[in-house]
Amino acid sequence: MIYMDIDKIRYLEKIAADGHKALEIKEYKDWELRFSEGYTGRANSIRIMGAPIEEINSEVEEKLFYAENEYAKRGLPCMFKLTEIDKKFSDYLETRGYTVVQPTDVMILPLNNADYLINLSDNIKDIVKSIMSDTPDIFYSKEPDGWFEPYFEFEGMTDSTQQDLCRQIHANVSIDKSYIKVFYEGRVAAVASLATEDGYSLLHNVVVDPSLRGLGLGKKLCWASIFESKNIGADYSYLQVIETNDVALNLYKKLGYEKLYTYWYIKK
């Protein structure tokens, strides 16, 4: 694992939040409260912007009281998105009845180092060939034209309210966005999206048609996404993967991603 300092972790958490922007955001002192009618943890949780909480004092108690009330008013559970530098506060919240859910690794791939460039050169020919073919099977766009439908299908997202919230969150993102579709036998087989800011390209919403898994389409999708990140000028590709998703973790490691740090949600 790469060593990360506090400021860097806070920064990466900030730009990741920019890439999946909540529909409503309230800043209260050094906490950012995010609300999106319950759609996704990232868009319905609290991000700590300041120094790690080392001592539980009256100010912390007051902020917690405020936050819990704000989420309760919206019919949502109060939930924090914390990292390993927030362990003391996380432990305290557990004594208050909060439960840790969904530990997730943040992984990064430098796009300019020698090892990456060698790895890329071995895979880039197939990606370029796919893009330049008379019948290309990789498509990029800045708008999600024809992207949401397969994404919802592959994710099994059938609720129209959830679909609308997903569309709204994507529309709310103001940093550079890219949408990727990989075709197989004439139909969309895998999709992903990018949100790029300050040289860091967030690879997320990575999903393959469940009926087509095991054909190498996930790897192809990731290489296509990495190629696009490099093409738009990013210095790093980074992503978030749930720790229990062994298949995805193994794929990302093979692609050259390394773990930076872990975050989790802690929910009342």
For residues 264 and 244, give the distance between their C-alpha atoms in angstroms, rounded to a whole number: 12
Q: Which of 186, 187, 255, 244 is nearest to 218 (CA)?
A: 255
CATH number of the domain enclosing 194: 3.40.630.30
Residue 195 structural domain: 107-259
> Do 122 and 174 fall within a single domain?
yes
| Whole-structure pTM value | 0.93
Q: State pLDDT tens for residues 3-53.
A: 668 999 999 999 999 999 999 999 999 999 999 999 999 999 999 999 999
For residues 16 and 200, give the distance between their C-alpha atoms in angstroms, rounded to a whole number: 9
Q: State pLDDT tens for residues 66-106.
A: 999 999 999 999 999 999 999 999 999 999 999 999 999 99
> Do 248 and 116 fall within a single domain?
yes
**Residue 112 counted as domain residue:** yes
Q: Which of 198, 98, 209 is nearest to 151 (CA)?
A: 209
> Do 122 and 211 fall within a single domain?
yes
Bridge partner list, 190: 182, 208
Q: Which of 115, 108, 104 is nearest to 11 (CA)?
A: 108
**Residue 243 counted as domain residue:** yes
**Residue 59 counted as domain residue:** yes
Which H or E run contains 243?
none
**Residue 221 counted as domain residue:** yes
